[in-house]
Structure 1
Amino acid sequence: MIDIWHNPRCSKSRQAVALLSQSGAAFRERRYLEDVPTLQELRHAHAALGRPPVIEMMRTGEKLFRELGLSKTDDDDALLQAMAEHPILIERPLAVSGRQAVIGRPPERVLELL
């Protein structure tokens, strides 16, 4: 089962959901702005992504990123906490299947979990 953290207002996110649907994959949509991931879930996603720099999981161009005084050099714990408190900062779509995850940029990356 693939869990996809989805924002229906995002075209890339909608494309990723459509690709999963067309593939016949079993997946669950999680509207992460409404059903906010916990810090523990964010840590799991980070591990499943292969532990890249946490900044790669973030929308650094988001106005809130600057308003909060965040920077690309902040430590991982601070960045994970910021995403837990402000889910708009989470890069989307993010798809998790067990111990593997991908950020759907481009959307076709979600097919790597099949």
Structure 2
Amino acid sequence: MEIWNNPSCSKCAAARTALDEAGIGYAVRPYLDRPPSAAELTEVLRRLDARPWDVCRTQEPAAAALGMADWPRDEAAEPRWIEAMVAAPELIQRPLLLLDDGGAVVGRTAGALAEAVRRSGATPGADAQPGPDPTA
């Protein structure tokens, strides 16, 4: 697994902690220092089944300076969004978790992190006893 990480981001820290606690190995990509290429970001979007504006931090000053809130959100506009995010990687939502199964997750919520852990094949709490059957 690879995590696109901003070291000053609390959500990134929470994702690293969740992965560490689950015993999942991962590589850290400091994407602010090593921005993705347009091709890499396009591939991540494919893995997320997302459009660029779905993972763009439009409240960032760089987005405001570009007027991105008013940009079209259609297929023809996708390259423009991608190029802006590559040029200003702080616009990319974080943390992005690139899973070994070929998928990806935006790891901002406990549910998303649990999904990443599940898909990694880890079984945190494997010795825990199952709870009552809610359908019984």
Query: If the length of structure 2 is used for normalisation, what is the TM-score?
Result: 0.76
Given that 1:57 and 1:91 are in contact with CA atoms closer than 8 Å, whether structure 2 keeps it comes out as: yes
Q: How far apart in 2 are the matches of 1:14 and 1:78?
A: 30
* Greater RCO (Cα-Cα under 8 Å, separation 6 or more): 1
Given that 1:59 and 1:65 are in contact with CA atoms closer than 8 Å, whether structure 2 keeps it comes out as: yes
Matches within 5 A, 1:40-59: 40-50=39-49, 52-59=50-57
1:25 to partner: Cα distance: 0.7
Match of 2:98 in 1: 96
Q: How far apart in 2 are the matches of 1:53 and 1:37?
A: 16
Q: SS of 1:4's equivalent?
A: strand
Given that 1:39 and 1:81 are in contact with CA atoms closer than 8 Å, whether structure 2 keeps it comes out as: yes
Q: How far apart in 2 are the matches of 1:110 and 1:86?
A: 25
Superposition misfits of 4+ residues, deviation over 6 angstroms: none
- Give 1:63's match in structure 2, choosing from 61, 64, 89: 61
Name the aligned partner's letter for residue 29 of structure 2: R
Q: How far apart in 2 are the matches of 1:90 and 1:107?
A: 19
In structure 1, stretches of 5+ residues that fail to align are none
Q: How far apart in 2 are the matches of 1:35 and 1:111?
A: 27
In structure 2, stretches of 5+ residues that fail to align are 121-136
Deviations 1:39-89 (A, max 9, x none): 111011000001x23211111110110101223524211111111111010
- Please say if 1:112 is aligned against 2:115: yes
Deviations 1:82-103 (A, max 9, x none): 1111101000001112420011
The structure whose residues are more often strand, as a share, is 1
C-alpha change, 1:39 and 1:107, in structure 2 (3 Å) is farther
1:5 to partner: Cα distance: 0.2
Identical counterparts, % of pairs: 31
